[in-house]
Amino acid sequence: MTQESPYALFDCLPVALLMLDEYHTVIYANDGAQAAIGTSLRRIHGKALQDFFGPEEKVECMLKRALRGETVSDDSFYSCRDHIPHTLHFGPSATQGVMVVMIPEGNRHDAEALFRAQKRTETVSRIALEQAHEVKNPLTSLRGAAQLLDELVPPEQQDLCQHILREADRIRERVDVFLQLGPRANVQMTAVNIHALLDDVCQASAGIRLHRVYDPTLPPLLLHESRLRQAIENLWFNAIEAGADFIEVQTRSNPLIRLPKHQGMVLEIRISSNGEAVPPDLRDRLFEPYVSAKSRGNGLGLAIVQQVIHEHNGRIHFRADGALSRFILQIPIQKESP
Protein backbone atom coordinates (compact mmCIF):
# COMPACT_ATOMS: atom_id res chain seq x y z
CA MET A 1 0.00 0.00 0.00
CA THR A 2 1.56 3.30 -1.09
CA GLN A 3 1.70 6.18 1.36
CA GLU A 4 -0.34 9.19 0.28
CA SER A 5 1.59 12.43 -0.21
CA PRO A 6 1.10 14.89 2.68
CA TYR A 7 0.34 17.51 0.02
CA ALA A 8 -2.31 15.50 -1.86
CA LEU A 9 -5.05 17.79 -0.59
CA PHE A 10 -3.49 20.75 -2.41
CA ASP A 11 -3.93 19.03 -5.78
CA CYS A 12 -7.68 19.71 -5.49
CA LEU A 13 -7.24 23.46 -5.04
CA PRO A 14 -8.43 25.68 -7.91
CA VAL A 15 -5.25 27.81 -7.69
CA ALA A 16 -1.58 27.26 -8.53
CA LEU A 17 0.31 26.65 -5.28
CA LEU A 18 3.99 26.09 -4.39
CA MET A 19 5.45 24.93 -1.08
CA LEU A 20 9.00 26.07 -0.23
CA ASP A 21 11.28 25.15 2.64
CA GLU A 22 13.08 27.63 4.88
CA TYR A 23 15.90 27.83 2.29
CA HIS A 24 13.49 29.12 -0.37
CA THR A 25 13.65 25.96 -2.48
CA VAL A 26 10.58 24.23 -3.88
CA ILE A 27 9.50 21.04 -2.13
CA TYR A 28 6.06 20.72 -3.72
CA ALA A 29 4.00 22.13 -6.62
CA ASN A 30 0.37 21.20 -7.14
CA ASP A 31 -1.08 20.42 -10.57
CA GLY A 32 -2.04 24.03 -11.19
CA ALA A 33 1.48 25.27 -10.43
CA GLN A 34 3.06 22.63 -12.65
CA ALA A 35 0.79 23.67 -15.51
CA ALA A 36 1.48 27.38 -14.93
CA ILE A 37 5.25 26.92 -14.81
CA GLY A 38 5.14 24.50 -17.71
CA THR A 39 7.08 21.55 -16.30
CA SER A 40 6.76 18.62 -13.91
CA LEU A 41 7.24 18.50 -10.15
CA ARG A 42 10.39 16.46 -10.69
CA ARG A 43 11.98 19.34 -12.57
CA ILE A 44 10.64 22.00 -10.18
CA HIS A 45 11.62 20.23 -6.96
CA GLY A 46 14.74 21.62 -5.31
CA LYS A 47 14.84 24.77 -7.46
CA ALA A 48 14.69 28.29 -6.06
CA LEU A 49 11.54 30.34 -6.62
CA GLN A 50 13.73 32.93 -8.31
CA ASP A 51 14.39 30.39 -11.08
CA PHE A 52 10.77 30.81 -12.12
CA PHE A 53 9.74 34.35 -11.09
CA GLY A 54 11.32 37.77 -11.04
CA PRO A 55 12.40 40.35 -10.14
CA GLU A 56 14.81 38.34 -8.01
CA GLU A 57 15.30 40.97 -5.28
CA LYS A 58 11.56 41.37 -4.73
CA VAL A 59 10.99 37.62 -4.59
CA GLU A 60 13.74 37.35 -1.97
CA CYS A 61 12.23 40.17 0.09
CA MET A 62 8.73 38.67 0.09
CA LEU A 63 10.03 35.22 1.03
CA LYS A 64 11.88 36.64 4.03
CA ARG A 65 8.75 38.45 5.21
CA ALA A 66 6.70 35.26 4.88
CA LEU A 67 9.27 33.34 6.92
CA ARG A 68 8.83 35.95 9.64
CA GLY A 69 5.12 35.04 9.76
CA GLU A 70 3.69 37.76 7.50
CA THR A 71 1.11 37.20 4.76
CA VAL A 72 1.99 39.44 1.81
CA SER A 73 1.21 39.80 -1.88
CA ASP A 74 2.20 41.92 -4.86
CA ASP A 75 1.16 42.14 -8.50
CA SER A 76 4.52 43.25 -9.97
CA PHE A 77 6.04 39.79 -10.55
CA TYR A 78 6.62 38.09 -13.89
CA SER A 79 7.38 34.55 -15.01
CA CYS A 80 10.97 34.04 -16.16
CA ARG A 81 9.92 31.67 -18.94
CA ASP A 82 7.47 33.86 -20.87
CA HIS A 83 7.43 37.15 -18.87
CA ILE A 84 3.69 36.93 -18.17
CA PRO A 85 2.75 39.28 -15.27
CA HIS A 86 1.70 37.48 -12.09
CA THR A 87 0.34 38.29 -8.68
CA LEU A 88 2.11 36.21 -6.02
CA HIS A 89 0.70 35.66 -2.53
CA PHE A 90 3.18 34.59 0.17
CA GLY A 91 2.37 33.17 3.57
CA PRO A 92 3.94 30.99 6.28
CA SER A 93 3.27 27.26 6.11
CA ALA A 94 2.80 24.78 8.94
CA THR A 95 6.20 23.21 8.17
CA GLN A 96 8.21 26.38 8.88
CA GLY A 97 8.46 27.08 5.21
CA VAL A 98 6.48 29.28 2.81
CA MET A 99 3.34 28.80 0.73
CA VAL A 100 3.13 30.73 -2.55
CA VAL A 101 -0.08 31.13 -4.58
CA MET A 102 0.41 32.19 -8.21
CA ILE A 103 -2.28 34.10 -10.14
CA PRO A 104 -1.53 35.02 -13.79
CA GLU A 105 -2.47 38.54 -14.84
CA GLY A 106 -4.97 37.20 -17.37
CA ASN A 107 -6.92 35.39 -14.65
CA ARG A 108 -7.07 38.56 -12.60
CA HIS A 109 -8.29 40.53 -15.61
CA ASP A 110 -11.00 37.89 -16.19
CA ALA A 111 -12.12 38.18 -12.58
CA GLU A 112 -12.16 41.99 -12.74
CA ALA A 113 -14.07 41.96 -16.04
CA LEU A 114 -16.60 39.55 -14.53
CA PHE A 115 -17.00 41.81 -11.50
CA ARG A 116 -17.54 44.89 -13.68
CA ALA A 117 -20.09 43.04 -15.81
CA GLN A 118 -21.97 41.91 -12.71
CA LYS A 119 -22.03 45.45 -11.33
CA ARG A 120 -23.42 46.77 -14.61
CA THR A 121 -26.09 44.07 -14.61
CA GLU A 122 -27.00 44.84 -11.00
CA THR A 123 -27.41 48.52 -11.89
CA VAL A 124 -29.67 47.73 -14.82
CA SER A 125 -31.61 45.30 -12.64
CA ARG A 126 -32.28 47.90 -9.98
CA ILE A 127 -33.57 50.35 -12.60
CA ALA A 128 -35.79 47.63 -14.07
CA LEU A 129 -37.34 46.72 -10.74
CA GLU A 130 -37.91 50.35 -9.79
CA GLN A 131 -39.63 51.10 -13.09
CA ALA A 132 -41.69 47.91 -13.28
CA HIS A 133 -44.71 49.20 -11.34
CA GLU A 134 -44.30 52.67 -12.78
CA VAL A 135 -44.87 51.28 -16.28
CA LYS A 136 -46.89 48.08 -15.91
CA ASN A 137 -49.61 49.29 -13.55
CA PRO A 138 -50.82 52.22 -15.68
CA LEU A 139 -50.30 50.05 -18.76
CA THR A 140 -52.72 47.48 -17.34
CA SER A 141 -55.26 50.25 -16.66
CA LEU A 142 -54.81 51.56 -20.20
CA ARG A 143 -55.38 48.11 -21.67
CA GLY A 144 -58.51 47.59 -19.56
CA ALA A 145 -59.89 50.95 -20.68
CA ALA A 146 -59.21 50.05 -24.34
CA GLN A 147 -61.06 46.75 -23.94
CA LEU A 148 -64.04 48.53 -22.40
CA LEU A 149 -64.00 51.15 -25.13
CA ASP A 150 -63.87 48.38 -27.76
CA GLU A 151 -67.24 47.12 -26.47
CA LEU A 152 -68.87 50.59 -26.57
CA VAL A 153 -67.75 52.14 -29.85
CA PRO A 154 -69.33 51.50 -33.27
CA PRO A 155 -67.79 48.66 -35.35
CA GLU A 156 -66.00 51.11 -37.68
CA GLN A 157 -64.00 52.47 -34.71
CA GLN A 158 -63.05 49.12 -33.21
CA ASP A 159 -59.92 48.90 -35.36
CA LEU A 160 -58.52 51.86 -33.43
CA CYS A 161 -59.22 50.10 -30.12
CA GLN A 162 -57.53 46.94 -31.36
CA HIS A 163 -54.52 49.03 -32.37
CA ILE A 164 -54.30 50.44 -28.81
CA LEU A 165 -54.51 46.91 -27.38
CA ARG A 166 -51.75 45.64 -29.67
CA GLU A 167 -49.46 48.52 -28.78
CA ALA A 168 -50.14 48.05 -25.05
CA ASP A 169 -49.24 44.36 -25.38
CA ARG A 170 -46.08 45.23 -27.30
CA ILE A 171 -44.93 47.65 -24.60
CA ARG A 172 -45.71 45.10 -21.86
CA GLU A 173 -43.70 42.47 -23.73
CA ARG A 174 -40.70 44.80 -23.91
CA VAL A 175 -40.95 45.58 -20.19
CA ASP A 176 -41.12 41.83 -19.41
CA VAL A 177 -37.99 41.18 -21.47
CA PHE A 178 -36.20 44.02 -19.69
CA LEU A 179 -37.17 42.60 -16.30
CA GLN A 180 -35.49 39.32 -17.20
CA LEU A 181 -32.17 41.06 -16.49
CA GLY A 182 -33.17 41.31 -12.84
CA PRO A 183 -31.57 38.92 -10.34
CA ARG A 184 -33.49 35.79 -9.38
CA ALA A 185 -33.82 35.18 -5.65
CA ASN A 186 -33.56 31.58 -4.43
CA VAL A 187 -32.99 30.08 -7.87
CA GLN A 188 -34.10 26.45 -7.47
CA MET A 189 -31.71 23.95 -9.02
CA THR A 190 -32.87 20.50 -10.13
CA ALA A 191 -31.17 17.54 -11.80
CA VAL A 192 -31.16 18.15 -15.55
CA ASN A 193 -30.03 16.02 -18.48
CA ILE A 194 -28.09 18.73 -20.31
CA HIS A 195 -28.04 16.82 -23.60
CA ALA A 196 -31.81 16.33 -23.59
CA LEU A 197 -32.23 20.06 -22.96
CA LEU A 198 -29.84 20.95 -25.81
CA ASP A 199 -31.55 18.52 -28.18
CA ASP A 200 -34.92 20.01 -27.32
CA VAL A 201 -33.79 23.55 -28.11
CA CYS A 202 -31.30 22.98 -30.93
CA GLN A 203 -33.24 21.13 -33.59
CA ALA A 204 -32.10 20.79 -37.17
CA SER A 205 -34.32 22.61 -39.62
CA ALA A 206 -34.38 23.43 -43.31
CA GLY A 207 -31.19 25.21 -44.29
CA ILE A 208 -29.40 24.49 -40.97
CA ARG A 209 -26.67 21.85 -40.71
CA LEU A 210 -26.52 20.87 -37.04
CA HIS A 211 -23.49 19.05 -35.62
CA ARG A 212 -23.58 17.68 -32.06
CA VAL A 213 -20.43 16.71 -30.15
CA TYR A 214 -21.51 15.53 -26.70
CA ASP A 215 -19.53 14.17 -23.76
CA PRO A 216 -21.39 10.93 -22.89
CA THR A 217 -19.84 10.77 -19.41
CA LEU A 218 -21.71 13.86 -18.14
CA PRO A 219 -24.22 12.92 -15.42
CA PRO A 220 -27.47 14.79 -14.68
CA LEU A 221 -26.44 18.21 -13.37
CA LEU A 222 -27.98 20.60 -10.86
CA LEU A 223 -29.24 23.49 -13.00
CA HIS A 224 -32.15 25.90 -13.25
CA GLU A 225 -33.75 24.25 -16.26
CA SER A 226 -36.11 26.97 -17.49
CA ARG A 227 -33.55 29.77 -17.14
CA LEU A 228 -30.77 27.78 -18.82
CA ARG A 229 -33.19 26.78 -21.57
CA GLN A 230 -33.90 30.45 -22.15
CA ALA A 231 -30.16 31.20 -22.42
CA ILE A 232 -29.59 28.39 -24.93
CA GLU A 233 -32.63 29.50 -26.95
CA ASN A 234 -31.25 33.05 -27.12
CA LEU A 235 -27.90 31.79 -28.44
CA TRP A 236 -29.58 29.41 -30.91
CA PHE A 237 -31.88 32.05 -32.43
CA ASN A 238 -29.06 34.59 -32.32
CA ALA A 239 -27.04 32.31 -34.63
CA ILE A 240 -30.00 31.77 -36.98
CA GLU A 241 -30.75 35.51 -37.16
CA ALA A 242 -27.08 36.10 -38.04
CA GLY A 243 -27.62 33.96 -41.15
CA ALA A 244 -25.84 30.78 -40.02
CA ASP A 245 -26.37 27.60 -42.03
CA PHE A 246 -23.97 25.55 -39.86
CA ILE A 247 -24.24 25.31 -36.07
CA GLU A 248 -22.19 23.05 -33.80
CA VAL A 249 -23.19 22.32 -30.21
CA GLN A 250 -20.49 20.75 -28.06
CA THR A 251 -20.33 19.68 -24.41
CA ARG A 252 -17.39 18.54 -22.35
CA SER A 253 -16.09 18.55 -18.80
CA ASN A 254 -12.97 20.68 -18.48
CA PRO A 255 -10.66 20.00 -15.51
CA LEU A 256 -8.40 22.97 -16.32
CA ILE A 257 -11.01 25.71 -15.89
CA ARG A 258 -11.23 27.38 -12.49
CA LEU A 259 -14.38 29.21 -11.45
CA PRO A 260 -14.89 31.38 -8.36
CA LYS A 261 -16.52 29.57 -5.42
CA HIS A 262 -16.07 26.18 -7.11
CA GLN A 263 -13.39 23.54 -6.61
CA GLY A 264 -14.34 20.87 -9.09
CA MET A 265 -14.98 20.04 -12.70
CA VAL A 266 -16.56 22.58 -15.02
CA LEU A 267 -19.11 21.97 -17.78
CA GLU A 268 -18.32 23.71 -21.06
CA ILE A 269 -21.07 24.23 -23.63
CA ARG A 270 -19.76 25.58 -26.93
CA ILE A 271 -22.18 26.89 -29.53
CA SER A 272 -20.39 27.72 -32.79
CA SER A 273 -21.94 29.07 -35.98
CA ASN A 274 -20.87 30.46 -39.33
CA GLY A 275 -23.27 33.39 -39.55
CA GLU A 276 -22.39 37.02 -40.04
CA ALA A 277 -19.32 37.92 -37.96
CA VAL A 278 -19.60 40.18 -34.93
CA PRO A 279 -17.85 43.50 -35.63
CA PRO A 280 -14.52 43.71 -33.74
CA ASP A 281 -15.49 46.96 -32.02
CA LEU A 282 -18.50 45.25 -30.37
CA ARG A 283 -16.85 42.05 -29.15
CA ASP A 284 -15.70 43.42 -25.80
CA ARG A 285 -19.18 44.86 -25.07
CA LEU A 286 -21.28 42.09 -26.53
CA PHE A 287 -22.93 41.14 -23.22
CA GLU A 288 -23.85 44.68 -22.20
CA PRO A 289 -27.55 45.63 -22.35
CA TYR A 290 -28.67 47.29 -25.59
CA VAL A 291 -25.46 46.37 -27.45
CA SER A 292 -26.29 44.53 -30.67
CA ALA A 293 -24.76 43.89 -34.08
CA LYS A 294 -28.24 43.36 -35.57
CA SER A 295 -30.33 46.04 -37.22
CA ARG A 296 -33.41 44.77 -35.38
CA GLY A 297 -33.88 43.42 -31.89
CA ASN A 298 -33.62 45.01 -28.46
CA GLY A 299 -29.98 44.18 -27.66
CA LEU A 300 -30.93 42.33 -24.45
CA GLY A 301 -30.63 38.69 -25.58
CA LEU A 302 -26.95 38.20 -24.78
CA ALA A 303 -27.19 40.28 -21.59
CA ILE A 304 -29.89 37.86 -20.42
CA VAL A 305 -27.68 34.88 -21.34
CA GLN A 306 -24.87 36.31 -19.21
CA GLN A 307 -27.27 36.93 -16.30
CA VAL A 308 -28.44 33.30 -16.44
CA ILE A 309 -24.88 31.99 -16.44
CA HIS A 310 -24.00 34.25 -13.50
CA GLU A 311 -26.99 32.79 -11.62
CA HIS A 312 -25.26 29.41 -12.05
CA ASN A 313 -21.95 30.87 -10.72
CA GLY A 314 -20.45 30.43 -14.18
CA ARG A 315 -19.16 32.67 -16.94
CA ILE A 316 -19.51 33.10 -20.69
CA HIS A 317 -16.98 34.07 -23.36
CA PHE A 318 -17.25 35.03 -27.00
CA ARG A 319 -14.52 34.03 -29.43
CA ALA A 320 -14.17 34.74 -33.14
CA ASP A 321 -12.47 31.64 -34.57
CA GLY A 322 -11.88 32.04 -38.29
CA ALA A 323 -15.26 31.92 -40.01
CA LEU A 324 -16.98 30.77 -36.83
CA SER A 325 -18.49 32.76 -33.98
CA ARG A 326 -18.25 30.76 -30.77
CA PHE A 327 -19.99 31.25 -27.43
CA ILE A 328 -18.41 29.29 -24.57
CA LEU A 329 -20.53 28.72 -21.47
CA GLN A 330 -18.67 27.51 -18.36
CA ILE A 331 -20.85 26.22 -15.52
CA PRO A 332 -19.78 24.44 -12.31
CA ILE A 333 -20.61 20.72 -12.39
CA GLN A 334 -22.75 20.07 -9.35
CA LYS A 335 -24.49 16.76 -8.79
CA GLU A 336 -27.33 15.76 -6.54
CA SER A 337 -26.30 14.40 -3.18
CA PRO A 338 -26.70 10.60 -3.07
Rg (CA), the chain: 26
184 within domain boundaries:
no
Among residues 330, 336, 332, 288, which one has the least CA distance to residue 123? 288
275 within domain boundaries:
yes
Residues 212 and 260 grouped into a single domain? yes
Interatomic CA distance for residues 128 and 61, integer angstroms: 51
Asked, as a colleague might, if the bond just before 183 is cis with ω within 30 of 0, I would say: no
Determine how many CB atoms are found less than 10 A away from the CB of residue 69: 8
Residues 97 and 113 grouped into a single domain? no
What's the pLDDT score for residue 198? 95
Residue 162 near residue 150 (C-beta atoms within 8 A): yes
Determine how many CB atoms are found less than 10 A away from the CB of residue 99: 19
Write the pLDDT tens digit of every residue in 175-200: 665 555 555 545 678 899 999 999 99
Write the pLDDT tens digit of every residue in 21-35: 988 899 988 888 888
Dihedral of CA atoms 230, 232, 234, 235 in degrees, nearest 10, equals 170
Residues 204 and 78 grouped into a single domain? no
Residues 173 and 196 grouped into a single domain? no
DSSP letter (8 states) at residue 244:
-
Residues 202 and 246 grouped into a single domain? yes
State the residue range of the domain holding 167.
108-179
- For residue 314, CA distances in Å to 12, 261, 318, 330 come to 19, 10, 14, 5
Residues 135 and 118 grouped into a single domain? yes
Dihedral of CA atoms 227, 231, 232, 233 in degrees, nearest 10, equals 90
Write the pLDDT tens digit of every residue in 209-249: 999 999 999 989 999 888 899 899 999 988 998 889 999 99
- Which helix H or strand E contains 230, and what residues bound it? helix 225-241
Determine how many CB atoms are found less than 10 A away from the CB of residue 205: 8
39 within domain boundaries:
yes
165 within domain boundaries:
yes
Kindly list the averaged pLDDT for each block of 10 residues, start to end, along the chain of length 338: 53 77 89 83 90 90 90 86 84 84 69 61 60 63 81 83 81 62 62 93 84 92 89 91 92 81 85 90 80 65 86 88 90 73
Interatomic CA distance for residues 117 and 104, integer angstroms: 20
What's the pLDDT score for residue 117? 63
Q: How many domains does the chain have?
A: 3
Task: Examine the fold and report which residue of 86, 104, 122 is the final residue of a domain before the chain moves on.
Answer: 104
Does the pTM surpass 0.75? The reply is no
Write the pLDDT tens digit of every residue in 104-121: 766 555 555 655 666 666
Residue 319 near residue 328 (C-beta atoms within 8 A): yes
338 within domain boundaries:
no
- For residue 217, CA distances in Å to 155, 168, 211, 278, 335 come to 63, 48, 19, 33, 13
**How does DSSP assign 146-162, residue by residue?**
HHHHHHHS-GGGHHHHH
What's the pLDDT score for residue 82? 78
Provide the pairing of β-strand 221-223 with 266-273: unpaired
Residues 157 and 194 grouped into a single domain? no
Residue 90 near residue 72 (C-beta atoms within 8 A): yes
Residues 273 and 238 grouped into a single domain? yes
